[in-house]
Every structure is written in structure tokens, then in C-alpha cells.
Structure 1
Amino acid sequence: MGKSKKRQVVNKENLIDINKKKCIGCTACAINCTDITGISVLKSTQEGKSTVVPKMGTFEETGCIYCGQCTLICPTTAITARNDIEKVEKELGNGKYMVAFAAPALKATLGEEFNLPIGSNVEGKVQASARKLGFEKVFDTDFGADVTVIEEGTELIKRLSRKENLPMFTSCCSSWVRYVEIFRPELINNLSTCKSPQQIMGASIKTYFANKFKILPENIYVVSIKPCTSKKYEAERDEMGREGYKDIDTVLTVREYGELLRSKGIDITALPSEPSDSMLGEYTGAGVIFGLSSGVMEATLRTVAYYLNDDISKIEKIQYSKIDGTKNSKEAEVIIGSQLMKVAVISGLSDVEVFLKDDKWKEYTFVEVMSCPGGCINGGGTPRVIRKSEIIEKKCIACGTCIDNCPVGAISFNKNGYAEVSQMQCVGCTLCSKLCRTSAPKINVYDKGTQEKLTKNYIDLRKNVLRNIDEKSQKKVSVENKEVKEMYDNYIGNPDEERARLLFHTQYKDRSSELKINKRTCRGKKRRR
């Protein structure tokens, strides 16, 4: 009897999938997870072949924060985030009032899905392409970011006046929020209660917008286009909706949105840029920089300075210094009004535990945390970059470790007796660079469109797009957003008060009981004290 065609080859979970048939056992996903998050969700295993599995049985039980960095590094796309394109396709022809909005990071990343050079500004292309797909209204999450800034800035000022729950940690990164709930529930009261820009957009559309246009919220289908995989998780949290409906119906990553457009024959390079629809479409430079590490900090402090009648321009000149022991994090002191604030920007969750190692973290006023290094412009749902290894011969000691462990046989000894990489065979798993004791392998990044080796960090190229938009913006402070002001005047009332708290704020819960803990781990011991 032949093998059944229904044989399951995918270990499918709610948000992250591992296709063991495509896995080459390079463990790039597991290494990236450990390096970036410090959690170490995955382990190598031999199940017929070398592959990876969650350490404690499932992603959820191991404490996965769904940041998707594992999916970003995988050279064979064996590990992926749940694909929700079919859900959107179904609803586009189903009679619902279709609304889409896109994160600031799309302006700096979507072009790569259509082979534009990394660092291309495609502002306005989501609006044009989404309308081609059949969406009735198209907005920018940047509007929601401006609202987040106003709510968060107001909340910070109140906490400062009351001297309570300081430092205040940002809450816009859903992976960071999940990390706190699972691994650091003692910090829950320090999290800002403000929802993320995504959820504020969803709440605004299904209340303020729905009320204005006399549409039942349940008849509106909201699609959020994000650089982040954990936004799928955030949208499904129980508290993110009301009266039986969710504020966000489906989240698509940048990669998914690019795939959807290509499947419909829509090429953004052939479309002129279009503006967002009015009412929830205006945004300031402060809303745009939410997409990069330190942007949330800067945007919020601009509004705090505005409220305290201080010079906003000095916020753009904050002198940061590196936080000792961290990879990508920094700190600074700034005086706003008469208030001295010690602030920190943490990029990558592996730096969090370094930051929290003693009670010095309690000396800070405001702390921004983003799970992905560089911020949302390097989120788990952004376009994958091409990586290739190159061996620096003078550093090679001819031990053969990289040759023995290369999962695709791309490395061999050259005529001089040293390791050499076949560029044609290399898949960019980066394993050789992790194993080499002399750092002989160098990982180069190539532009998918031009096929040229990058001379600048691809994350910086993406960041520059958002920075340039901010620099050219006439409005730099979120409170200057006219459409946001109209929403507060006509529907919400004052920031961080009754209706604002109902729609734009949330609560968190201790989720540590969801975690299956290996008693041998340090984190496990710490939690049992």
C-alpha cells in the first residue's frame, strides 16, 4: 500500500508552524531566538532527520512571545507564522465593509517585496494597492500611534505627579507585553495601560468611525497590515474588543500582504502613491517614527514637552549612551520643564534581563522596550533579506568545524587548505559564524532587487526612510494632528479619562501559569522563590 497523501508533515500550532520536511536542521531559528529574546524556545532534535521543536512541547508552553524572529532568519522558510491571506480573500467578496490600515514600517519595507532596493520609500503605496484589492477605506496606523502618544504622554505626566508605578514601560510591543505577563509579572503595574496603535486603530474604527458612518461594528471587517507576527496574537486577546466582536479581524504581515498583492497581479511599483482616507488618516512625524527603536520614546517626550510648555526641539538632540552589558540598548537623562527624567531604550529582549539584573532599573522614569532589534522595521513579518557567508582566510585555522556542520555542504577546503564558501550553495543560515571560534565567517547581506552586497546595515537603511519622513513633516507633535483633535473633541473627551480609558487602555494579567518550566533553568528557580 502506498503512503497516504494526507500524511501530516507540518507541526502546526496557532501562530508558528514548523514544516519538518523543509527544515535542514541548521538551527538558525533556535540560535536567533536565544540571541534576540533570551528565552530559547526551540531545541534541536533527531526525529528521522535533524530538525527543531519547542523545548516544552508547544510554543505556548515554552513561553514563545511570537516575535517571529525565527521565521525571519530561516533560510528555507521551514518555520513560518500563520498565513491568514485566505481569510482576507474570503471577506473581500463577502459583503462586509472592508477597512485596512498599515503600520509606519510598511513605508520602509513593502518595496522589498517587489524587488525595490532596501531603503526605498513607498509611502502611499499601501493605500493605492489596498483600494485595488477592494477595500472601502484605507488608513495608516500612524494615526493610532499619534493617539497612543497622547494617551501615554498624559499617563506618564500623571504617574510623575503621583510618583507611582515608575518607571513606566511602553506597551506598544505585544511581544514585550507577553514577556512581562509570562516571565516578569511583577512588572505589570509598571507597564503603560495604553493599548498599542494597532488596537487603538481598531477601537477607533469600530466605535468612532462606525458611529459617524452609521455602520454596525460587526459589519466592518478590519485588516491590519503589520511588520510584526505577534500582532496576530495581540488582536486575538480576549480584552481586545467589546460586545461580542473583535476590534481587529485579521492581521497580515508585510510578507503576507506582498504575497496577496502578487497573487492578484498588483505591482506597487506601477501604482502612483495615494493618501489615506480622511477622518482617521492624518499623521505626524511623531506617529511615523513609532516604527523604529527609540521612536516611541522620542515621540512621547515631544508631547510631554508640549504639555509642560518646554522646547520640543531639544528632544531630538537627546545624547544617549550605551547601557553597560547590553547589545543594542541605551540610556539618557533629559530635563523637561523642571522634571529630570532618566530614560532608557531597549532593543531586543535579551537586553531586558541585563537591564533588570539589580534595582538600578527603578531609578528610571520612562523605558521603551521593543522585542526586535532596531524596532518594527526589523519585525518578524518584514521581508527576508539575502544572506551569504564569506570566510576570511587569514582568520581560518583549518579546523574543519564549519565544513563538518554546514547543513547544505556549501563549505570545503580550498587549495590553500583553508575553508571556503560556495556562494551558489550557501543558503545564509549563519550557522558557520556561530560555530567558528576565530570569527572567520563573515555574513554579508545582499539587496534582493539589485543583487549587490550592502555596504550599510539594512536595518539602518529602513530606519532612514522613517527618519526622513519625520524630518520633512510639518507637524512633529502628535497633539498637532487635526483629525486626532477632532476625534477627542467630538467623541472621546479628554485623554486618559472615562471614554479614552474604556477604548484606548487595557489591563494585563499574570500568565506565568501557562508556562511549563524546566526546573533546571535559572529562570525557573528564580520564579519559585
Structure 2
Amino acid sequence: MSKSRKISRIQQDNIIQINKKKCIGCTGCAFTCAERTGISVLKAVDNGKRTVDPKQGTFGGSGCIYCGQCTLICPTTAINVRNDVALVKEALNSGKYLIATAAPALKATLGEEFNLPIGTNVAGKIAPSAKKLGFQHVFDTDFGADMTVLEEGTELIKRISSQENLPMFTSCCPAWVRYAELFHPEILKNISTSKSPQQMMGASIKTYFADTYNVLPSNIFTLSIKPCTAKKYEAKRDEMGRDGYRDIDVVLTVREYAELLKEKGIDITAIPDEKSDSFMGDYTGAAVIFGSSGGVMQATLRTVTYYLKGDVSKIESIEFNTIEGYHDIKESTVNLGGQEKKVAIVSGLSEIDKFLKSDKWKEYVFIEVMACLGGCINGGGTPRIQKKSEINEKLCIACGTCIENCPVGAIEYNVRGRAENNKEKCVGCTLCSKICRANAIKMIYYDKATGKSLDENYIKLRSDVLKDIDKSSEIRISDKNENLQNMYKNYMGDPDGEKAQKLLHTTYQDKSAELSVNTTRNKKKN
């Protein structure tokens, strides 16, 4: 691969790519972007063939936050995340010291790429599969999640004590951080300065690990395996490296990692379980639930309550209730240091603009935000779920809209003059369900491993894997992670201290000027 080709591969604005030859013009990606982010980056175009383009010519200029939800919905993979498998293959032959780190969500999602039922725990398959590829060390990013809890929890206590820059928003979701930088830079001072678990792992590997094992940071190649497409963007941010090297060299999504394993003939179902390396791999139950919406909140509150000598058991029973006027934003009240404080969870960004434009958000001290509905376990790089449309004949008004617009001709009139879907032809693009004015069409999700329709939401099935691991863990408070305690004692110093600030914290910038003129959101503001 030429040098110029390498450079083009890591440009931020080609993280999401469109293959017009594969596009069937269903516009499911555009619908999904508008519904799930409220940004509406894509528009339908017809130049002899119906397809989609970014509204302002580029994804970056159109306000894309690289969440990748559009790639999950596309039935033909015409819109997809940039594939960086070739860069990892180069690294495998580079002679560098190879280290892989895997997100909590992999435990609940990687198995689906190997025909295991949704909700299968494959925690023991990640380390051995990476070592078969040639990685010398494999760590769980869960260790970085515990690290994030210590840093973020300490930061929250300091902010509450000083009554400055409250509420504090979580910072572990790069799509959310980019959203704030683009569309609501006025709240950047409210976002935690703590880096995400991915970036804390990268920084620690190339400092703490490098110093301990006497390896030059520049000679270490760090692969991060993630359910998130925006992590590719985050890893290349200017702040995420030092001394001429990046903390994380390459990010692969769950789908890309599975692709690499299959290409190398590695079947995770055929290898014995193995734990990740313990030096930076041990983690608590609190770290595992980072992969699910509400997990960061729960994990952080456990440690904050522990620091403040409160009753941690009461954190386990916190109930979050939907805020009036919202569907995906919930709130609760917790006792922190003897005082009742309100906290909130935002799952998906469809309502975040409304939330931030109101004064409602100012009522809280701590707000978790995940750009993807359900959290990382439903990230843009997770396995795609098979879908088919189902038509309720009783509700069908025989208008013919779905028949006329189905891009694959899967819907026809039946003998009773009502629309009927041919499931053999249906590709699950969701267009018919979006445009049906009578709400007669809904999407049915299927487990590819079993071929059966899902009685439970696939997000819940994945989330339950992480919650079960947490419940069965002996240690469930991040501060009690012994290996993490050793790192702080021997290298990092105090959480949110001088060295931690240098390596584990970051800054944000007002990036609203990056938006091209006359974007949809700018029009809404005027």
C-alpha cells in the first residue's frame, strides 16, 4: 500500500463511505440518521439512479458525528464504515510490539458474527483469537473503564464541592462529544475532561506499560476493537497522542475484527476460552456495564458513593423514570454526601437538541449521554440484525405507496386487494414501514443463528450479557480494582492529579465553524 493511500485511509471525513453501485435507493440510512440523531446528514438524489449523498457534499461539513447508525440499517452495505483491516494486516508483519484492547460490548456481540445466538457471552474468546492473529498482549478496555470511573468520579466530586460547571456530562462517547462541539459548544465546559476508556487505555499502554516493559512507545502498535464507528474519529483527534505517536493506532469495529479473524481462518467457536492479560486487563463488574446505556452512570455513582462513605448498596436499586415530554431521557435522585442530587441518562440523540435548548438539563449534577440508542452494544460497528417487514392487512388502506416505492419489488397486492410482503424478496430496508401512512407495516427482527423472530429486543439481549457479568463479579466497585490501584500507586499518582491530568484528561473545541453553510440544523436555528 502506498504512503499516499495510507494517508487517505485515515482521513476523518472518510469514516463513513457510500458505494453507489451497491445502493438500491431505499434511503433507509437517511431516515435513520434523521430519526436517531436529529441531524439529518443525508439527502436523496436521483441522477438516473436513486441514491444518497451528504447534504453539504461531505459528511464532516454536513454535521456527521460518525455514530454509524446509517451503516446498521443499510441492507446492502452500500453505506459502510471505512474498512481498516488492511492496516492491521500490515502491522502484523511490521515487527512492532502488538497490543490489542477490546471493549466490554464485544463480550455480548462478537459471537453473532460467528453464527451464535444473540445474547451469547463470548468474553473468553477475545484474547485467544487476538493472540492467534499474532498480538503479544491482549487487554480488556474494561480496565480503562475502571480508570475512567476513578477520574470522572473524582472530577464530579470536585465539581459538586466547588459548584462549578454543573451538571457534568459524561465524555466516553465520541459521537456525543463531536455533537456538542458542532452544535452546542456552549456546554463544552460541562463535559467531563476525562478521556474515554479507549483513549485512557492507549495513553496508559504507551506510557505506563511501555515504561514497565522497557518498550519504546513508538514501537508499540495498539489495536482497539470497538462496537463504535466514532472511535475511529476519536483515535485521530489531535489531542490523542504525544511525542509524534498516536495512543491508539487503529480501530476496528466488531464487524471488521470478525472479518479479519475469518480471513485468517480463526473461528472463535473452535478455540478454548482464555482470559486477557492481567497487567492491564483485570476489571470490575462496574467496568463491564459501560457497554450498556446507564452503565457509566451506575459505575460512576458506585465509586463516588464509596468515596463519600455512603451506602453503595442503595445505588444498585436506583430507578430511572422517563422525563415528561421525552421518550429516551430518564432521571433519578441519588444521595451523594448526604445531599439529594438529580442525575439523568440520555440514550440516543434524537431528543438532545430539545433537551439542551430547554433549562431542564440544568437541574442535574451528572448526565450520561450515549449517542446510540441502548449504548455501545448497539453501536454503528456491531453486527447487523436481520429484519423483514410485516404488513397488518386490517390496517392496510390499499394506497399502493409501499408497492410503488419498494426498491426490490417485494410488496404486491394480494387477492383481497391489500398489500402483502414476500419475505423471500424483502431485504429489510425499512422504507415501507417509514412511508406507510396507515402504520400498517412494522419491522420484525430475526436472530440469524436460529432463524426465529426475536421475542425480546436484541439490545436487551446484549445488555443482559453485560449485566449478568457484573452481577456475578466478586468486585463491582472500580476503585477496588487491584491492578488499577497498583498503576496509580506506582505510576499515575492521584486520580485527577498532575500526571493523570496530563495523560488521562483532554480538552474540547468549538467546531461549529466546520459546518458548511446552510446545513439543515443551521436553518432550524435561524
Q: Counterpart of 1:421?
A: 421
Letter in 1 for 2:318: I
Determine the C-alpha separation between the residues in 2 that align with 1:159 and 1:47: 54
Q: Counterpart of 1:113?
A: 113
> How many Å apart are 1:524 and its aligned residue?
4.1
Structural mapping, 1:121-520, within 5 Å: 121-518=121-518
Q: Counterpart of 2:40?
A: 40
Q: Counterpart of 1:28?
A: 28
> How many Å apart are 1:255 and its aligned residue?
0.1
Letter in 2 for 1:316: E
Determine the C-alpha separation between the residues in 2 that align with 1:82 and 1:456: 31
> How many Å apart are 1:416 and its aligned residue?
1.0
**SS of aligned partner of 2:368:** strand
Q: Which moved more, 1:321-330 or 1:178-187?
A: 321-330
**SS of aligned partner of 1:373:** coil
> How many Å apart are 1:523 and its aligned residue?
3.8
| Contact 1:167/1:364 (8 A) holds in 2 | yes
Determine the C-alpha separation between the residues in 2 that align with 1:175 and 1:53: 20
| Contact 1:103/1:227 (8 A) holds in 2 | yes
**SS of aligned partner of 1:452:** coil
> How many Å apart are 1:292 and its aligned residue?
0.3
Q: Counterpart of 2:4?
A: none
Q: Which moved more, 1:95-104 or 1:441-450?
A: 441-450
> How many Å apart are 1:327 and its aligned residue?
2.6
| Contact 1:517/1:524 (8 A) holds in 2 | no
> How many Å apart are 1:253 and its aligned residue?
0.1
1:231-276, CA deviations, whole angstroms, 9 ceiling, x for partnerless residues? Answer: 0000000110000000000000000000000001100001111111
Determine the C-alpha separation between the residues in 2 that align with 1:394 and 1:524: 40
Percent identity over paired residues: 65
Letter in 2 for 1:408: V
Determine the C-alpha separation between the residues in 2 that align with 1:412 and 1:257: 39
Letter in 1 for 2:183: F
Determine the C-alpha separation between the residues in 1 that align with 2:356 and 2:86: 42
Determine the C-alpha separation between the residues in 2 that align with 1:222 and 1:198: 10
**SS of aligned partner of 1:266:** coil
Letter in 2 for 1:441: I
Determine the C-alpha separation between the residues in 2 that align with 1:146 and 1:128: 23
| Contact 1:403/1:412 (8 A) holds in 2 | yes
**SS of aligned partner of 2:500:** helix
How many residue pairs get aligned? The number is 515
TM-score normalized by the length of structure 2 = 0.97
> How many Å apart are 1:395 and its aligned residue?
1.0
| Contact 2:176/2:370 (8 A) holds in 1 | yes
Determine the C-alpha separation between the residues in 1 that align with 2:329 and 2:445: 23
Determine the C-alpha separation between the residues in 1 that align with 2:218 and 2:387: 44
Letter in 1 for 2:237: R
Q: Which moved more, 1:468-477 or 1:331-340?
A: 331-340
Q: 1:525 to 1:117 in 2, by over 3 A?
A: closer
Determine the C-alpha separation between the residues in 1 that align with 2:107 and 2:47: 42
Determine the C-alpha separation between the residues in 2 that align with 1:279 and 1:73: 39
Determine the C-alpha separation between the residues in 2 that align with 1:13 and 1:36: 20
Q: 1:375 to 1:57 in 2, by over 3 A?
A: same
**SS of aligned partner of 2:367:** strand
| Contact 2:235/2:248 (8 A) holds in 1 | yes
| Contact 2:39/2:521 (8 A) holds in 1 | no
Determine the C-alpha separation between the residues in 2 that align with 1:403 and 1:304: 56
Determine the C-alpha separation between the residues in 2 that align with 1:347 and 1:403: 34
Determine the C-alpha separation between the residues in 2 that align with 1:274 and 1:325: 47
Unaligned stretches of 5+ residues in structure 2 = 1-11
Determine the C-alpha separation between the residues in 1 that align with 2:311 and 2:270: 43
1:116-142, CA deviations, whole angstroms, 9 ceiling, x for partnerless residues? Answer: 000000012110100000000000000
Give the CA RMSD over aligned residues.
Answer: 1.1
1:484-504, CA deviations, whole angstroms, 9 ceiling, x for partnerless residues? Answer: 000000000000010000000
Determine the C-alpha separation between the residues in 2 that align with 1:474 and 1:423: 47
Determine the C-alpha separation between the residues in 2 that align with 1:319 and 1:56: 42
Letter in 1 for 2:179: Y
1:431-473, CA deviations, whole angstroms, 9 ceiling, x for partnerless residues? Answer: 1111111211121011111111111100000000000000000
**SS of aligned partner of 2:225:** strand
Determine the C-alpha separation between the residues in 2 that align with 1:81 and 1:366: 32
**SS of aligned partner of 1:88:** helix
| Contact 1:223/1:252 (8 A) holds in 2 | yes
Letter in 2 for 1:56: Q
TM-score normalized by the length of structure 1 = 0.96
Q: Counterpart of 1:7?
A: none
Determine the C-alpha separation between the residues in 1 that align with 2:472 and 2:397: 51
Letter in 2 for 1:514: E
1:195-244, CA deviations, whole angstroms, 9 ceiling, x for partnerless residues? Answer: 00000000010000000000000000000000000000000001100000
Determine the C-alpha separation between the residues in 1 that align with 2:273 and 2:14: 35
**SS of aligned partner of 1:20:** coil
Q: Counterpart of 2:7?
A: none
Determine the C-alpha separation between the residues in 2 that align with 1:96 and 1:428: 43
**SS of aligned partner of 1:451:** coil
> How many Å apart are 1:299 and its aligned residue?
0.3
Determine the C-alpha separation between the residues in 1 that align with 2:66 and 2:330: 24
> How many Å apart are 1:277 and its aligned residue?
0.6
**SS of aligned partner of 2:109:** helix
Q: 1:522 to 1:243 in 2, by over 3 A?
A: closer
**SS of aligned partner of 1:394:** coil
Determine the C-alpha separation between the residues in 2 that align with 1:184 and 1:440: 38
1:67-108, CA deviations, whole angstroms, 9 ceiling, x for partnerless residues? Answer: 000001100000011000000011101100000010000000
| Contact 1:111/1:117 (8 A) holds in 2 | yes
**SS of aligned partner of 1:56:** coil
Q: Counterpart of 1:94?
A: 94
| Contact 2:131/2:138 (8 A) holds in 1 | yes
> How many Å apart are 1:525 and its aligned residue?
5.8
Letter in 1 for 2:277: D
**SS of aligned partner of 2:238:** coil
Q: 1:474 to 1:282 in 2, by over 3 A?
A: same
| Contact 2:84/2:251 (8 A) holds in 1 | yes
Determine the C-alpha separation between the residues in 1 that align with 2:521 and 2:369: 23
> How many Å apart are 1:324 and its aligned residue?
2.3
